[in-house]
Amino acid sequence: MTKIVIDTNVLVSAALSHSGNPAKITTLISNKSEIQVFYSAEILDEYEKVLAYDKLKIDTEVQAAIVDTLKEFGTLIEPTASAIPLPDETDRVFYDAANECGAILVTGNIKHFPVEPFIMTPSELIQRMGMN
């Protein structure tokens, strides 16, 4: 089983387009035999806030479905904050969650994180899982 933490931009991409690698990843979440997703309360709050942005025009039912799926099939954790420098401090919660539970951090914004083998794009994760 592949452990992952999902950056918000991946969920937004999946909500806006039901094709592509972000959508494949979100579909796999409910199949607990392939992916185990981890999140913290702070991450969940960000998901809810960003998915609800008016400018994104994501249907409220889609927003609720994404969050409900994560709550139902994901694992809530309380990561310890790290001191590693990041270009965007708001991304620390994702980095720390992935680091804490030995998961892959899946993000569309690789440049926001240090070069680490556990940080990859949706495309890289799908390729690693042999699903491309």
User: Which pLDDT belongs to residue 30?
Assistant: 80
Check: CB of residue 84 under 8 Å from CB of residue 37. no
User: Which pLDDT belongs to residue 56?
Assistant: 97
Q: In this structure, what CATH number is given to the domain that contains residue 59?
A: 3.40.50.1010
Check: CB of residue 106 under 8 Å from CB of residue 122. yes
User: Which pLDDT belongs to residue 57?
Assistant: 97
User: Which pLDDT belongs to residue 31?
Assistant: 76
Residue 132: enclosing H or E segment and its boundaries? none
Neighbour count for residue 58 (Cβ, 10 Å): 18
Task: Please give the tally of structural domains in the chain.
Answer: 1
* DSSP per position, 41-92: HHHHHHHHHHHT-GGGT--HHHHHHHHHHHHHHSEE--PPP-----SSGGGH
User: Which pLDDT belongs to residue 15?
Assistant: 96
User: Which pLDDT belongs to residue 14?
Assistant: 95
Check: CB of residue 12 under 8 Å from CB of residue 109. no
What global pTM score does this model have? 0.94
Query: What are the residue ranges in the chain where pLDDT is below 70?
Result: 32, 132
User: Which pLDDT belongs to residue 131?
Assistant: 77
Task: State the residue range of the domain holding 96.
Answer: 2-128
User: Which pLDDT belongs to residue 114?
Assistant: 92
User: Which pLDDT belongs to residue 34?
Assistant: 87
User: Which pLDDT belongs to residue 130?
Assistant: 83
| Token couple for 17 | 């387009």
